[in-house]
Structure 1
Amino acid sequence: MTKPSTSTAPWGSAERQRNAVTGRGRGKGRWLGLLGPAFVAAIAYVDPGNVASNLSAGADYGYLLVWVLVVANLMAVLVQYLSAKLGLVTGQSLPDLLGSSMKRGPRLAFWVQAEIVAAATDLAEVIGGALALHILFGIPLLWGGVIVGILSMVLLMTQGPGRQRRFEMFVIALLVIITIGFMAGLFVSPLDWGGVAGGLVPRFHDAQSVLLAASMLGATVMPHAIYLHSALVRDRHGAPENRGEEATRRLIVATRWDVVLGLVLAGSVNIGMLLLAAASLSGVAGTDSIEGAAAAISDHVGSAVGVIFAVGLLASGLASTSVGCYAGSVIMSGLLHVNVPLVARRLVTMVPALVILGLGWDPTWSLVISQVVLSLGIPFVLIPLAVLTSQRAVMGRWANPLWVKVVTCVVTLAIVALNFVLVVLTLGEL
């Protein structure tokens, strides 16, 4: 288990964290030391796959599907909070708990599907980063993928025993860049606020809008982010037996704020991308791909905004692929009890993406297929999470109350059903 960091960074200093847990210190600032894990998990919600879906939704249907992103973000807040609470209360990650309760055969099968999901995630992120480098500098996609992989290795080197908060700070810095990159266009694109308000009313226009909504809503909750969040909280706050019940209560309160702030930021970025596309790209041809959308933004909003957008896309790919690789390591450690160095794992997981880029396959089509694979993995993580966090034998007094159980069940069934619809409709479109 990773030991708590002794970093002296103002955001997450060890002293500030101890003060928040024990109740010492003054003002709201004493809680800042406990924030961070949810912001790392939130990277999954602003990855290149989300970029493609949000821009397509805004360009094709204007403000029609704003409500989808609002609902998706509310679902994500609940799911990520449950994952964080599981790691905080049990001192184990979700893969740890599943690995310890399964026999060898089912455990290996579960690991295979989880690794496929992690590989699909990594595929999308490397391709997205390669597209960003191609847009910015004209670098061939294959070499762009290599560069993104190398840069992600450098970022992963900041993660390790006693260095988690340093990794968090790097990722949060990239999240800030992503936010600026994807939101900058809103300052020069006049919005139709009546249209925005109308977009909060749930409705569809045609079958294609249903497909797009299923993609946006179903693929928002990423399996790897759920696996990872429980481990991030475990590694940050340590074993529950080393703290009292009051300290655990304070940590749970801080975790709620962490999740809400991190996911609201990520959700705002997603909504901002859709609004930008609705205001500036509606009816513009060629926006069905990330590269085409970036070119359309430059043409219709301004070249400076286009460059800022591409920088945000690069930060999105870099941060997402680093977080995805970290999640894969957590999955392997929990299910197989095997610890592979992150850099070594990075070298291996880069290969599928580089092969696809080297073969010249359509990157947007590859992103679509990766999202379908991710959708297939969602039931395997959501259902165990809902069950485990509701069991008093696992969570003690922190088990989900009845109303949370009901909401969790409804959300889980809705996401699983929508992902089933996404898979069926997408395969029908291919």
Structure 2
Amino acid sequence: MTAVQQGPASVEELRRRGWRGRLVVLGPAFVAAVAYVDPGNFATNFSAGAGHGYLLVWVIVVANLMAMLIQALSAKLGVATGSNLPELCRERMPRWGARLMWGQAELVAVATDLAEVIGGAVALNLLFGIPLLHGGLITGVIAFGLLALQSRGHRPFERAIVFLLAIILVGLVSTLFRLDVDAGALAGGLAPAFSGIDSLVLATGILGATVMPHVIYLHSALTQRRLVARSPEDTRYLLRTGRTDIVLGMGLAGLVNLSMLVIAAALFFGSGVPGTDTLEGIFDGLGTRLDTVAAYGFAIALLASGFASSGVGTYAGQVIMAGFLHRRIPLLVRRLLTLAPALVVLGFGVDPTQALVLSQVVLSFGIPFALAPLVWLTARRDVMGDLANSRATTAAAIGVTAVVVALNGVLLWQTFTTGI
């Protein structure tokens, strides 16, 4: 079902407005982009740059292209059908299958919130010395406040997310511009290459963690509720503008991730600075190798990431439950349910970086359950009509799915057999 929350009376009116009309359609991809710059990405990308310099730049680029394709399919699903991915899974699966899908998706939502809340808590500790447990509570409250903006329509929430994304970007790029980046080595990093098993493991971590299951579910819901296409021309307009949205939103996420790796490569690679595989170690290393401005820029970016991604994760949880079960629970109850595991982890003094790693393991289990239905549904003409994927798009999507699932399998194997 499609609901119009805000905006002009018709898509036709938007088409007449030119670029101003396109601005009304932009937004969903920026919300989705938050999942690609969450606290887990901070640790992984900085570790890659610190340990291997510019070698894995190509991995960031490939990961970003994969993200664009997958999010484009999710966005198209919402526009073409007027339904989101969980709703369509419920409609086209047996009841027991839909409930199993809901169960694993809820587990993914909890794991997602665990990572985001921990990231926000660590940032508050680095900036203000706030204990981790208290920082987790503050992060949860801020995320709840972000979600409350939805009562005013989709625009206020999206503007808040874009503002936080801008903080993340400024916090990192401002440091990047102060560094003496080796342009030749950076360009050389675009050529696929590895340097031993450690670089392969890190590349697997970057690529394998590219796809966040909860945001695949969410993106289709973001596009289904914005505007109603009343003609084929309207639909084509929404799809074209949606692709622009994805290029801009995912492009911003890619720039943020690339900035992390380049900063670490320029400052930490070969320097002997210890602890650059932890968030706290990165903060200390930036202060040592550059200055406190860079260290606090990192911490502020991490804080914005924790706030934004926690809000988006809880929003995704609402979509998951409503879609798979056709039920809703009060937003406060959902916020408390997903926040509780993170607070337990922080309260018992579990190492934050280790908790982030474990949350990524749980997310790995959920990836096939989100990707496979997405590819299956968007390839079906009885679901998508004339907007069904072309054979080339379906082949590319299957290939990306196979790569992501395989890489996450490698990550799981590494975790359970070697503890990497």
Does the C-alpha gap of structure 1 residues 424 and 299 become closer, same or farther in structure 2, counting only changes over 3 Å? same
1:23 is aligned to: 15
Deviations 1:192-218 (A, max 9, x none): 111111111111111121111111001
1:276 is aligned to: 263
Deviations 1:272-329 (A, max 9, x none): 1000000011132111101110111122121011111111110000000000000011
Which residues of 2 match residues 55-94 of structure 1 at below 5 A? 55-94=46-85
For 1:21 and 1:272, the matched residues in 2 are separated by 39
The answer to whether residue 308 in structure 2 is matched with residue 344 in structure 1 is no
1:54 to 41, 45, 48: 45
**Deviation at residue 18 of structure 1 after TM alignment:** 4.1
1:264 is aligned to: 251
Is the 1:20–1:34 Cα contact (8 Å) retained in structure 2? no
1:182 is aligned to: 172
Q: Which runs of 4+ in 1 moved over 6 A?
A: none
Q: Which amino acid aligns with 1:93?
A: N
Is the 1:35–1:258 Cα contact (8 Å) retained in structure 2? yes
Q: Which amino acid aligns with 1:5?
A: Q
**Deviation at residue 19 of structure 1 after TM alignment:** 5.8
**Deviation at residue 427 of structure 1 after TM alignment:** 2.1
Deviations 1:73-113 (A, max 9, x none): 00000000000000111000000000112222221111111
The answer to whether residue 383 in structure 2 is matched with residue 394 in structure 1 is yes
Tell me the TM-score normalised to structure 1 length. Answer: 0.94
Partner SS, residue 204 of structure 1: coil
Does the C-alpha gap of structure 1 residues 374 and 20 become closer, same or farther in structure 2, counting only changes over 3 Å? farther
* Structure 1 stretch displaced more, 92-101 or 417-426: 417-426
**Deviation at residue 22 of structure 1 after TM alignment:** 5.1
1:11 is aligned to: none
The answer to whether residue 396 in structure 2 is matched with residue 404 in structure 1 is no
**Deviation at residue 419 of structure 1 after TM alignment:** 1.0
**Deviation at residue 410 of structure 1 after TM alignment:** 1.0
The answer to whether residue 359 in structure 2 is matched with residue 370 in structure 1 is yes
CA RMSD of aligned residues (A): 1.4
Is the 1:21–1:247 Cα contact (8 Å) retained in structure 2? no
Partner SS, residue 205 of structure 1: coil
1:324 is aligned to: 313
The answer to whether residue 241 in structure 2 is matched with residue 254 in structure 1 is yes
Unaligned segments of structure 1, at least 5 residues: 7-13
Q: Which amino acid aligns with 2:31?
A: V
1:97 to 64, 88, 92: 88
2:136 is aligned to: 145
**Deviation at residue 5 of structure 1 after TM alignment:** 3.3
Partner SS, residue 333 of structure 2: helix
Is the 1:188–1:301 Cα contact (8 Å) retained in structure 2? no
1:193 is aligned to: 183
Which residues of 2 match residues 93-172 of structure 1 at below 5 A? 93-160=84-151, 163-172=153-162
**Deviation at residue 157 of structure 1 after TM alignment:** 0.5
- Sequence identity of aligned pairs in percent? 53
Unaligned segments of structure 2, at least 5 residues: none
Which residues of 2 match residues 168-317 of structure 1 at below 5 A? 168-238=158-228, 240=229, 243-283=230-270, 284-317=273-306
Is the 2:60–2:254 Cα contact (8 Å) retained in structure 1? yes
For 2:295 and 2:2, the matched residues in 1 are separated by 41
Q: Which amino acid aligns with 1:196?
A: L
**Deviation at residue 128 of structure 1 after TM alignment:** 0.2
Is the 2:115–2:356 Cα contact (8 Å) retained in structure 1? yes
